Amino acid sequence: MTGWIDAHHHLWDLAAVRYPWLMARGVERFFGDPTPIQRNYLLREFRSEAAPCGIYASIHIQVGAENGLDEARWVQTVADANPDWPMAQVVFCDLTSADLSAQLDRFQDIPTVRGVRQIVGRAPGEDAQTGTNSLLDDPRFLAGLQEAGRHGLSFDLQLIPELMEKTARILAQAPDTRIALCHAGSPHDRSPAGLNYWAQRLRALSDLPHVSCKLSGLGMFDHNWTPDSIRPIVEDCLEQFGPERVMSGSNFPVDKLYGNYASLVQAYRDLIPAEAQSAVFRETAARFYDLGMP
């Protein structure tokens, strides 16, 4: 099959933009040891892996740059230099900023910008150290979500199952802001009980019509994943959201640590029913991120 859109990947040039986590050596992350990817990962390499698998367009997601605007401007230069590769981007912006509206205006001067991301949760251990979950208790976060929607921007939501119900109550108050749930909501406990806990709490998000879901990043908590091990996640997401609100992404190069691109694409092809593939592999992402493609 051809004509797929990768709805979630990253690029970085360590000489062009500063990424503190990529420059911190010997620091274990929630997804494992980042050493093999602490190097440039540019569009040429990404395309060499994705294009042979039928991918022809993509969504770049911010990835922890020291300055979100610098990262966004660099991604725009990549898109400008590669007009044959349609690409939109989601940028980092602190939704609690006092000058949020002005910041969003600056981002919207960049043609490829479609949305913003501010991570709510990565994994329990890392979250306990960073305190990022506290965003949910800050009224400025809800106000920022609403402001993003007024600007016509979407919000990429990364969190863990323990935060889903609380987050859903906040998102319900921002119905005009389209939400993309990253990494299927990060089901970090892959035991049967853990997946049941995730699926039950996912319902709070899937019940909201303005929330869509990404099948991405499934290797971060399952380093030896197989199609069978991720099957329950894929099936639950499709059942709860429906194909018209599900999109697929690679999370490369992070998930490159635990598998190759061709194996990931083949797993999606095997697990997603044929009648749902057009939506999941192309249409949902094209519509959500306004890629302007037929």
Tally of CA atoms within 13 A in the half-sphere of 280 that contains its CB: 28
How many structural domains is the chain composed of? 1
pLDDT in tens, 157-207: 999 999 999 999 999 999 999 999 999 999 999 999 999 999 999 999 999
What is the overall mean pLDDT for the chain? 97
For residue 169, is it within any domain? yes
CATH number of the domain encompassing residue 21: 3.20.20.140
Residue 98 lies in a domain: yes
pLDDT in tens, 143-163: 999 999 999 999 999 999 999
Is residue 49 one of the residues assigned to a domain? yes
How far is residue 59's CA from residue 53's CA, in Å, rounded to a whole number?
Answer: 16
Residue 212 reports pLDDT greater than 60: yes
Which pLDDT belongs to residue 1? 41
Q: Is the pTM of this model over 0.75?
A: yes
Residue 248 has which token pair?
A: 């697929």
**pLDDT, position 3:** 86
Q: What is the pLDDT of residue 195?
A: 98
Cis peptide before 232 (omega within 30 of 0): no
232: in domain? yes
Structural domain containing residue 120: 4-288
Structure tokens at 288: 């959500």
Q: How many CB atoms lie within 10 A of CB 192?
A: 9
Residue 37 falls within a domain, yes or no?
yes
* 27: in domain: yes
pLDDT of residue 293: 67
pLDDT for residue 88 is more than 60? yes
How far is the C-alpha of 203 from the C-alpha of 58, rounded, in Å?
A: 28
Q: In the prediction, which pLDDT does 292 show? A: 78
Q: Is residue 293 part of a domain?
A: no
Q: In 3-state terms, what secondary structure has residue 161? A: helix
Beta bridge partners of 181: 157, 213
294 occurs within a structural domain: no
What span, in angstroms and rounded, lies between the C-alpha atoms of 219 and 186? 10
Structure confidence by residue, pLDDT tens digits, 53-87: 999 999 999 999 999 999 999 999 999 999 999 99
